[in-house]
């Protein structure tokens, strides 16, 4: 086996995996992948899409939120799908895996619903590559003890913690 290129950092490795997981998404608006990691080991993965065994939006004639003209980050209750972070948390629970003190690698920042779940699940850090337009999520995460880091284009970026409003 020939080794090509530099060995990726753990951040590069896990973020690339989150992007691969996102390819399984059935969401028509946004493909999101999430990986929960602890001590450099993957605990769980998740991508956004309809609940297990149910029809996907594509099979039902399209995205209801898109058809109603609802902007991203609003009216989550109308969405048929679960978010990637929710599915990662659920998969860990199904298999009896504790995610307390783990790190979430996610292709997007969490929405407010996911942010509250991640806080209560005891996640210690969120590493993300893309923004999701949810100011309340940023405010709530800013009040939490979760460390937030932006990772983009396979390069470590300065912390975006300042965007998460601290009380």
Query: How far is residue 86's CA from residue 46's CA, in Å, rounded to a whole number?
Result: 7
Structural tokens at position 118: 């991640």
Q: Single out the catalytic residue among 12, 16, 66, 85.
A: 85
Residue 6 CA to residue 120 CA, distance in Å, equals 37
Spatial contact of 111 and 134, defined as CB atoms under 8 Å apart: yes
Q: Among 51, 48, 5, which Cα is nearest to 27's?
A: 48
- Per the annotation, the verdict on 85 as an active-site residue is yes
d(CA 96, CA 166): 33
Catalytic residue positions? Answer: 85
């Amino acid at each position: 086996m020939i080794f090509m290129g530099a060995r990726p950092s753990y951040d590069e490795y896990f973020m690339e995996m989150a992007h691969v997981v996102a390819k399984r998404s059935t969401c028509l608006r946004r493909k999101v992948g999430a990986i929960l990691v602890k001590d450099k080991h993957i605990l769980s993965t998740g991508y956004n899409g309809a609940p297990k065994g149910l029809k996907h939006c594509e099979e039902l004639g399209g995205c209801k939120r898109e058809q109603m003209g609802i902007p991203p980050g609003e009216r989550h209750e109308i969405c048929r799908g679960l978010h990637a972070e929710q599915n990662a948390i659920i998969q860990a629970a199904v298999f009896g895996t504790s995610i307390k003190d783990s790190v979430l690698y996610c292709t997007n920042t969490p929405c407010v619903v996911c942010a509250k779940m991640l806080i209560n699940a005891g996640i210690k850090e969120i590493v993300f590559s893309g923004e999701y337009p949810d100011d309340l999520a940023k405010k709530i995460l800013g009040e939490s003890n979760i460390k937030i880091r932006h990772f983009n284009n396979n390069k470590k970026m300065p912390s975006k913690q300042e965007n998460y409003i601290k009380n």
